[in-house]
Structure 1
Amino acid sequence: MSALELVLLLVLVTDPFGNLPLVLAALGRLDAAAYRRAVVRESLFAFGVLLVLGWGGAGLLQAFGITQPALYIGGGVILFLLSLRMIYGNAQGAFDDGYAADPLLVPIAVPAIAGPAAIATVILLRTQQAVPLSQLVLGLLCALLITLATFLPGRRIAAWLGPRGVNAMEKLTGLLLNLIAVNMMLEGVRRFLG
């Protein structure tokens, strides 16, 4: 897997464009400085979680006896369901539980950015694709920068794109993620049968 493919995959599964409506809804009442602090804090938390799971996820799989085909198929199913929510649903609706105006860790860092799809992906990258930890760290850093580049000017981006533009970006990301999910499930079935 090339560095560009790795970064693209990590951006797709962390989904900054799809999560932008949720971030704006959750942090909408904050002033500009507090909004920036919250965005940076939540993004760092999310990518810290992904880094820890990328580093120690293989041991976790061994401890629970999870096989490689099961991880591919399970990760693919999670990605598939997430992609359907992105295509047909609404990013905010999945996490609408009346969180405080400045949520900590939940729901932005986990499960929005570092959700099941992103967690399964980083574990798969390390265990199945044998992506070196240094390359994963670099890929996560690039995905973090793209996430921050989306969230920090999020209010301006949403105003420029309008609700329909933000919705279209989320659906396009969902479609790409759907194709990756189907490929992961097919690979899991191939490995199981092979």
Structure 2
Amino acid sequence: MFNFKEIISVTLILFSVIDALGSIPVIVDFRRKLGHIESEKATLVAGFIMVLFLFLGERLLNLFGVDVASFAIAGAIILFLLGLEMILGHNIFKHDQLESSSASIVPIAFPIIAGAGTMTTLLALRSAYEIQNILVGVLLNLIFVYLVLKSSNWIEKKLGQGGIDILRKVFGIILLAIAVKLFKTNILIA
């Protein structure tokens, strides 16, 4: 049965992890370089990756001999570093840039939208929430991602650089909190 409270929780957690608004500067940069990003394609591929990992992620990890708690701890560390990157404004991770139309897939769909943090979060959510509520949360986030991709130039103009910087810092703090919670929960299991 659908649970509105769970759907809201999942949606907000994924919203913070995916951070579509915080990715606007990267998205805008790619649009400037490439002229166009296929919003529909990027959203569909990211959704496919997320749903696939939601259902098969644990089996894939078992194939490599990694348990969910260890993956969640590794993901928590990545989320923590991403949060620090957002708050401090320094790049910790190198983001490879492509000069082709495949930028809709790499790096927009993966790893910006459906990256390691999103996948880790999906596994953690799966252990705490009903699957149908997670799927609704994923769908709501994909709709939001699509809208952000379609209107990134308009959003950039309305928010200005200062507004985008504030959003990145707020979502960075939320990511840090999620990372600490993931780490704390899974370190006891591992």
TM over 0.5: yes
Q: State the match for 1:76 in structure 2.
A: 76
Q: State the match for 2:100 in structure 1.
A: 100
Code of the aligned partner of 2:25: P
Code of the aligned partner of 2:152: G
CA contact (8 A) 1:10 1:143 kept: yes
Question: Is residue 2:12 matched to residue 1:8?
Answer: yes
* CA separation of 1:83 and 1:6: change in aligned 2, threshold 3 A: same
Superposition RMSD on alpha carbons, in Å?
2.1
The residue correspondences of 1:1-194 to structure 2 (distance < 5 A) are: 2-28=6-32, 34-35=36-37, 38-89=38-89, 94-100=94-100, 103-126=103-126, 128-129=127-128, 131-192=129-190
Displacement of 1:21: 0.9
Q: Normalising by structure 1, what TM-score?
A: 0.85
Displacement of 1:107: 0.9
Q: Normalising by structure 2, what TM-score?
A: 0.87
Displacement of 1:15: 0.9
Identify which range, 106-115 or 133-142, moves more after superposition: 133-142
CA contact (8 A) 2:15 2:141 kept: yes
Displacement of 1:102: 6.1
CA contact (8 A) 1:26 1:100 kept: no
Code of the aligned partner of 2:61: L
User: Which consecutive residues of structure 1, in runs of 5 or more, have no partner in the other structure?
Assistant: none
| Aligned-partner Cα distance in 1 for 2:26–2:145 | 13
| Aligned-partner Cα distance in 2 for 1:25–1:158 | 11
Corresponding residue pairs, total? 185
